[in-house]
Chain A
Amino acid sequence: MTGLSQSWSRRVWLRSALPIVALFAAGLAGQAQAQDGQRVSITGEIADSWCTVSGLMFAKGSAHHQCAVWCALGGIPVSIRDAEGALYLILRIGDDTDSVANPRVARLMAHEVTVDGELLERDGVKYLLVDQIADDKGVINLTHDEHGIQPFGN
């Protein structure tokens, strides 16, 4: 094989391989860490993650419902807080993958729920992909007599 044909072959190979490499790279960009999670059933209160971790206000139950609606519609990540205080950050409910400012989720704030879904743990966060809301008791944690309406009392 001459030097010219070797060079041409290399160029043809590169030209045909590049799209494959690019596709592979694009796949990696989107799904670099795609993983299978664990099937779980979680019971707890639907809470906004920011108020819960910031400790800037009392972020539980009826006292915090209004604030939690604002945060959910502001795009703060919404979680389920279980009885031990663990937070499970919701990335989807059923087929609904809107996890920022989703009015359907905002209507659930401060509700006590049981959900079934898939749990993915990564770098200090428990991510929850909810398949179904098995039970929704509404707001049952009555905290407003003691804590008023968070955060400003009205």
Chain B
Amino acid sequence: MRAVGIGVAALVVFAPAVAPAAEPWGIPHEKPVVLKGRVVEALCHLKGVCAPDCGAGKRQLGIVEADGRFRLVGKGQIDFAGAAPDLAGFCGREVEADGLLIENPAITLFFAQGVREAGSTAPFTPTERFKAQWEARNGPAPEWWRADPESNAIIAETGPLGIKGLVPKPKP
């Protein structure tokens, strides 16, 4: 029994690291990594202010690694969109996330490009759920951001520069 326990421990310790396949973006301080850990909601993890289902996609999420480090996941594969829709379904579960860890002196963020259940040998699922969810609510659009009703309402009210009545100079 003891031998089996030692064997299992050895397997865990010496399990081959998953090689990151994340696409480099040339972002300062980026480093391709596969994060392994538990999906948690930031406000709950840091402050104990918790919501059911990790906030059901309305709160920022991150991954707690085995050594206790908490990595906020700030970006997914869809332009102008985060990765909360991709992680929310894994709330409280162990995952592997392939992406770019950006350790900028101003802030450390993880750009998740793919995610899967821990220990799975399946390919990483691209972090593209935002688009599917957006299209389910609004219908298909080549650029979700220009078709987004909420964005358009704000920009109609404030103008694209954020100052009511201020219009950009026409292009030469």
* Residues of A participating in the B interface, judged by any CB pair closer than 8 Å: 29-35, 37, 49-50, 52-56, 62-63, 65-67, 69-71, 73-77, 79, 81, 85-87, 89, 91-92, 97-103, 106-107, 109-111, 120, 122-127, 129, 138-139, 144-145, 148-149, 153
Contact = CB atoms under 8 A, between A and B. Distances in A.
Given A53-B106, A70-B80, A126-B107, A76 B75 contact: yes
A74 B143 CA distance: 12
B11 to A, nearest CB: 24
Nearest to B73: A77
Contacts, number: 184
A32 B45 contact: yes
A134 B49 CA distance: 23
Contacts of B162: 62, 65-66, 109-111, 138-139
- Contact size range, B: 35 or more
Given A69-B155, A75-B81, A99-B43, A33 B107 contact: no
B59 interface: yes
B142 interface: no
B71 interface: yes
A91 B109 contact: no
B3 to A, nearest CB: 26
B82 A77 contact: yes
Interface in B120-172: 130, 144-145, 148, 150-151, 154-155, 158, 160-163, 166, 168-169, 171
B171 A139 contact: no
